[in-house]
């Protein structure tokens, strides 16, 4: 595996680890930001492409629909996202980030990437390889306990 491929894989694993670890303390703000970590991951999903329904967002975040309903209401009140009627089915809403939500997401992604690169720069190749092997097991365990 090329160095950049291994670095990208480790990055993706760390993001997934943070996602599942955040389920243990969903209302805790992201480091250096006022937005709870679950809202950070919601913005990440919403800013990645087409608008999502609340159900789609719940599925992507691994959260209950009622939790996502509260999350969406809080994010809408904070001006981070907007709900729009789905043109194909007026009973549903589509969620999309506002300009404020996109800006917050960009700031948080940039901060995460800076920290990530500082972190991996302190590790040897062997240590990074070990993490690439061990992190999937830890993520599986977190995924399992988050469903209990």
So what's the architecture of 3-146 in CATH? Orthogonal Bundle (1.10)
CA angle, 105 then 25 then 96, to 5°: 30
Residue ranges covered by each domain of the chain = 3-146
Query: In this prediction, what percent of the chain has a pLDDT beyond 70?
Result: 84
For 50-104, the pLDDT digits (tens) are: 899 999 999 988 888 898 999 999 999 999 999 998 888 888 889 999 999 999 9
Task: Give the global pTM.
Answer: 0.73
For 29-52, the pLDDT digits (tens) are: 555 556 788 888 899 999 988 899
In terms of Cα–Cα distance, which of 91, 16, 81 is closest to 51?
A: 81
Rounded Cα distance, 92 and 148, in Å: 29
């Amino acid at each position: 595996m090329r160095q950049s491929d291994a670095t990208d894989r480790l990055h993706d694993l760390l993001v997934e680890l943070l996602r599942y670890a955040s389920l243990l303390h969903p209302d805790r703000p992201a480091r250096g930001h006022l937005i709870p970590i679950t809202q950070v991951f919601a913005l990440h999903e919403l800013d990645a492409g087409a608008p999502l329904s609340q159900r789609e967002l719940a599925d992507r975040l691994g959260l209950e629909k009622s939790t996502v309903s509260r999350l969406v209401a809080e994010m809408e009140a904070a001006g981070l996202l907007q709900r729009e009627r789905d043109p194909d089915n007026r009973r549903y809403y589509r969620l999309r980030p506002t300009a404020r939500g996109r800006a917050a997401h960009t700031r948080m992604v940039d901060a995460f990437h800076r920290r990530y690169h500082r972190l991996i720069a302190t590790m040897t190749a062997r240590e990074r390889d070990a993490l690439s092997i061990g992190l999937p097991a830890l993520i599986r365990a977190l995924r399992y306990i988050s469903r209990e």
